[in-house]
Amino acid sequence: MKENQKEIKKLRGEHCLNIFVSYELKEQLKTLAKKYDRTTSDMVRAVLKIGIPMMEGLSEAEEIMVKEYISLFRKLRKVKSLKDL
C-alpha cells in the first residue's frame, strides 16, 4: 500500500490540494471562471491568493481584540474589588 501512495505522490506532486466545497460555492467559482474566460482552477488559485492575506489580517485583529478584552475585563475586576473594600 505504501508503494502505491508514493506513486500517487509522484504523480500528483506535493503541491496538490483536494477540498470539498458547497455546490453554491462551486457554482460561483464556475460562473466567475466562465465570465472571465478562465479555468475553475485559475479562479480557485486566485481566490486563495487573495483570501489568505485577508484571513491573516482578520485573525490578527481578532487575536488583538481578545487580548484587549481580557485586559479590560481584568482592569474592571480590579476596580470592582477596590470599591468593595
What per-residue confidence (pLDDT) applies to 69?
94
49 Cβ neighbours under 8 A, 6+ residues apart: none
What per-residue confidence (pLDDT) applies to 13?
67
Q: What are the residue boundaries of the structural domains of the chain, listed by start?
A: 22-84
Task: Supply the mean pLDDT for the chain.
Answer: 87
Q: Looking at the predicted structure, is the pLDDT value of residue 57 above 90?
A: yes
Record the cell numbers describing residue 41, joined without a space. Answer: 482552477
Q: Looking at the predicted structure, is the pLDDT value of residue 35 above 80?
A: yes
d(CA 68, CA 13): 43
Q: Per-residue confidence at 80, pLDDT binned at 50, 70, 90? A: confident
With CA atoms as reference, report the closest residue to 29 among 15, 41, 17.
Answer: 41
What per-residue confidence (pLDDT) applies to 11?
66
With CA atoms as reference, report the closest residue to 30 among 53, 52, 21, 15.
Answer: 21
